[in-house]
């Protein structure tokens, strides 16, 4: 017999929770729509100054996400003094908010403005691959502004095909989808659709010149593979390496950072660097090949993270040592399975998968929180994609 004390309270509790969730969703959706509508029409310097001021406030409040950013930076840059580390953390929050200012303003930029705000380094090999009519895969981290890089690629390099996590509320996911597709990219939802790995593999098998960037510097699910990142154990997504093994498409680690550009109104330029190709060893099991390629990508990305730490927008736990026992057990022994490397269950996130403030994780239970911009427990301008 049901408890006489339970049933009278459950419906109201659920009703209140549901109502609160609906209100939070409406506020989040309205906030992002306002960002795209209002920020893009502000004078450029005013908008950047506003977001710089917001970054200082977020850093001063020292919320949970800023604290995690500090812990991650301390692991990556152990040589820094406490005061130097704090300067770096502030710069990291400023870089992160700069991304959002640029994202909100991006639809207003002309092709010429996009070209002048983006530079690609070490691109000879990938341009030769594209000229030969072939695609290539990018292994990305939470670095810099990949919405701008993707828009630039559509204009000056190659068509972009990637994936994005399906976020909650659904209305915000749809807004981000329209935003990125409006820049010319093809975005496949990570969940709620068909076999994403199969779709990506089919796209690569068509043999057309395109870029497939995949966010991969964090994956704590059972599909992640353990690597050394900046001298510490971490779990990364195997999607890029698994696709490379499955299709033979070349795989390149790609890092993104900002450089000062005082001649621009926004004062910063985005720089994407193509690192040396990570080649399939061609021997061993699928798991071993994928793991080896993932480690090669992590090595290149780790060096870039150390060099441009302030542009690594990693506000979640990423290193195994920072996880609680349950999460650590879940992340252990999660190498790329032969099955995962063939059926696509290991593909994680997209190049543009940042989760905005207040967004709830999707069906796969992932969460990447950003700076606490509101009083909500989990507010953040995004992540995206993992």
Q: How confident is the model at residue 242 (pLDDT cuts 50, 70, 90)?
A: very high
Tell me the C-alpha distance between 351 and 99, whole Å.
14
Per-residue buried b or exposed e for 311-329, using 16+ beta carbons within 10 Å of the residue's own CB = bbbbbbbbbbebbeeeebe
Closest CA to 371 of 77, 85, 70, 73: 70
Asked if the model's pLDDT at residue 299 lies above 50, the reply is: yes
In angstroms, the Cα distances linking 67 to 72, 263, 327 are 9, 34, 19
Sheet of 210-215, strands arranged across? 118-121, 268-274, 251-260, 136-140, 210-215, 159-164, 186-189
pLDDT score at 271: 98
pLDDT score at 27: 55
What does the DSSP assignment read for 286-329? HHHHHHHHHHHHHHHHHHHHHHTGGGB---S--BGGGS-HHHHH
Instruction: List pLDDT tens digits, range 13-71.
Output: 344 445 445 555 555 556 666 666 788 889 999 999 999 999 999 999 999 999 999 99
Tell me the C-alpha distance between 13 and 10, whole Å.
5
As given in the structure block, the two tokens for residue 133 are: 């009519």
Instruction: List pLDDT tens digits, range 329-386.
Output: 555 544 433 334 433 333 433 333 333 333 333 333 333 323 222 222 233 333 333 3
- List the chain domain ranges: 14-343
Instruction: List pLDDT tens digits, range 248-277.
Output: 999 999 999 999 999 998 899 999 999 999
């Amino acid at each position: 017999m049901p408890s006489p004390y339970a049933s009278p309270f459950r419906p109201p509790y659920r009703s209140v929770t549901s109502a609160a969730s609906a209100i939070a969703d409406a506020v989040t959706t309205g906030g992002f729509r306002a960002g795209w509508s209002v920020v893009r029409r502000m004078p450029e310097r005013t908008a950047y100054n506003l977001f710089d001021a917001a970054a200082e406030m977020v850093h001063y409040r020292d919320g949970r996400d800023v604290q995690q950013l500090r812990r991650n930076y301390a692991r990556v840059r152990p040589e820094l003094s406490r005061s130097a580390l704090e300067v770096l953390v502030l710069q990291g929050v400023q870089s992160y908010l700069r991304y959002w200012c640029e994202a909100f303003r991006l639809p207003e930029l002309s092709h010429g403005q996009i070209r002048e705000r983006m530079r690609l380094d070490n691109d000879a090999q990938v341009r030769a691959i594209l000229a030969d009519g072939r695609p290539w895969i990018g292994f990305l981290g939470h670095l810099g502004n990949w919405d701008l890089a993707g828009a630039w690629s559509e204009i000056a390099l190659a068509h972009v095909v990637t994936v994005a996590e399906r976020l909650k509320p659904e209305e915000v996911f749809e807004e981000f989808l329209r935003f990125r597709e409006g820049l010319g990219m093809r975005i496949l939802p990570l969940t709620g659709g068909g076999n994403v790995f199969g779709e990506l593999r089919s796209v690569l098998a068509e043999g057309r010149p395109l870029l497939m960037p995949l966010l991969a510097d964090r994956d704590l699910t059972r599909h992640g593979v353990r690597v050394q990142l900046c001298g510490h154990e971490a779990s990364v997504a195997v999607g890029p390496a698994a696709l490379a093994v499955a299709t033979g498409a070349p795989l390149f680690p790609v890092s993104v950072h900002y450089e000062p550009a005082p001649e621009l109104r926004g004062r910063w330029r985005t720089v994407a660097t193509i690192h040396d190709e990570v080649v399939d060893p061609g021997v061993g099991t699928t798991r071993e090949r994928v793991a080896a390629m993932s480690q090669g990508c992590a090595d290149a990305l780790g060096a870039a993270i150390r060099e441009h730490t302030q542009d690594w927008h990693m506000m979640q736990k990423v290193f195994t040592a920072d996880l609680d026992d349950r999460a650590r057990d879940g992340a252990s022994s999660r190498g790329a399975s032969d099955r995962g490397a063939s059926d696509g269950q290991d593909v994680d996130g997209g190049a543009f998968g940042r989760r905005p403030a207040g967004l709830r994780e999707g069906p796969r239970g992932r969460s990447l929180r950003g700076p606490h911009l509101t009083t909500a427990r989990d507010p953040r301008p995004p992540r995206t994609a993992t």
